[in-house]
Structure formats: structure tokens, C-alpha cells
Amino acid sequence: TLDRRLKQVVDFIPKGSVVADIGSDHAYVPCYLVQQGIVNRAIAGEVNRGPMEAAKAQVALIGATEQIDVRLGDGLAVLEADEATCISICGMGGSLIRSILESGRDKLGAVERLVLQPNVDGQHVREWLLDAGFVLIAESIVEENDKVYEILVGERGTETRYSSDETERAWQLMFGPYLLETRPEAFKLKWGREADKLDYVLGQMAEGAQTEALIQKQEEFKTLRDKMREV
């Protein structure tokens, strides 16, 4: 069985995909998908030998060595050009997810769906999707063990979700256009905490010498904090 976070992730993987789970660690995602008969072909990519060995052991344990290939390598480099139809990248920072996708653009030819779970900096992932010609088709957010995780799902197509107004679009990229509308409890928890962090920073800043630059930065942070409290 999977934890709540990874359960959300697998729920977004289309049946019958050839799925590549990058940074797979124990290969829990590919193993679950194969065991449940959701996919019959998967690749688990790992850049580190320890987690790669753990993935191999897990795959052997469930008797899925024929269906799941465990490969050692950096990001999408473990894939052939048109091999995967769905890629999942979970449990990393948004900027790492973004750089893995960006360096592996040539491996996205057959990819119909991306399921991405940034631990932080989801904004970077949304920006990349937008730039790379993917539509954000769904977002989800889960709380588990007092941590909050976002799951972002992209598909090829024409993006219409984002506002043409620049300020509005910037907020949508930061908070997520769907989450901003549905405002789940975990979402409010996440941004409430971020606002608390900014309050702390603002408290520190208030004690410094009030230079022009510092005053301006504080105004910026206050706007951001107020927005975080508002959502």
C-alpha cells in the first residue's frame, strides 16, 4: 500500500501508460501500478546507487522484473527518446523537477502526461509546464505527517487556465489556478504557514536600519503575506 501522497500520484497515471518514475527510490510507484494492473510496463530511474538497489530489491520482491526496468542515471537520461508515455517525478524540490524536465526535453516526444509532485517551489514547475507547451490539467494537495504536498498534472495542449492579466497570472503560478479556486484545507494550511514565515522575516527586518531598499522589500513581503493570508 502507498501513503496518501503517492496514492494521489498514482491516481493520475493513465491506465495502460508506459510510465517512467524518475527519482523512484524504492520504486513504490511503478510497483503499485504494475501490481494493480494499471500499467504493465514501467521504468524506475534513479541517480543514486543506494535507492537504485532498493528499487531493484522491491521490484524483485513483487516479482515484476519483466515489467519494471530499474535504471541508474540522471533524470530523463535513462530513457530512450520515445519510450515513456507518462512520466512521474515526485518528492523533490520544484526547481530540481524543472531542471530534470528541461534537460530531458528530447525524451518527451511520446509523453502525453506528466505527474509531478514538488515538495516546495511548485511555481517553478507550473512555469516550466507553461513554457514547454503543457497544459496544467489538474492539481491536488495532500497533508500527510504534518507536511503538505502539491501534485501537478500536465498534458500537451493549449493552456487556457491562466489569466491574461500579468499580476493575476503571477498569483496563479504561485498558488495554482485550480487550488486557488477550490481552496482545500491543506492549501490554506500551507499558505498560512508560509505567511507565518514571512511574518517572522518581517519582524527581523523591522529591527534593521530602514534603508530605502529594505523598506521596499518589506512592502513586497507584506503584499505577499497578505495574499497568502487571503487565499
DSSP 67-109: TEEEEESSGGGGS-TT--SEEEEEEE-HHHHHHHHHHTGGG-T
Q: Please, are residues 69 and 96 in contact by the beta-carbon 8 Å criterion?
A: no
> Is 4 a binder of ligand SAM (CB under 6 A)?
no
Q: Which of 8, 17, 24, 85 is close enough to bind ligand SAM by CB under 6 A?
A: 24
- Rank residues 14 and 91 by Cβ distance to ligand SAM and give the closer one: 91
Q: Which three cell numbers stand for residue 64?
A: 515484476
Scan for cell 498534472, then name that residue: 153
> Is 223 a binder of ligand SAM (CB under 6 A)?
no
> Is 55 a binder of ligand SAM (CB under 6 A)?
no
What span, in angstroms and rounded, lies between the C-alpha atoms of 95 and 147? 19
In sequence order, which residues have a C-beta less than 8 Å from that of residue 218 and are 6 or more positions away?
202, 205, 206
Point out which span in 21-29, 32-40, 162-170, 183-191 binds ligand SAM (CB under 6 A): 21-29
Q: Which of 10, 13, 18, 22 is close enough to bind ligand SAM by CB under 6 A?
A: 22
- Rank residues 23 and 176 by Cβ distance to ligand SAM and give the closer one: 23
The residues in 68-97 that bind ligand SAM, with binding defined as CB under 6 A, are 74-75, 90-92
Residues that bind ligand SAM (CB under 6 A): 22-25, 45-48, 51, 74-75, 90-92, 100
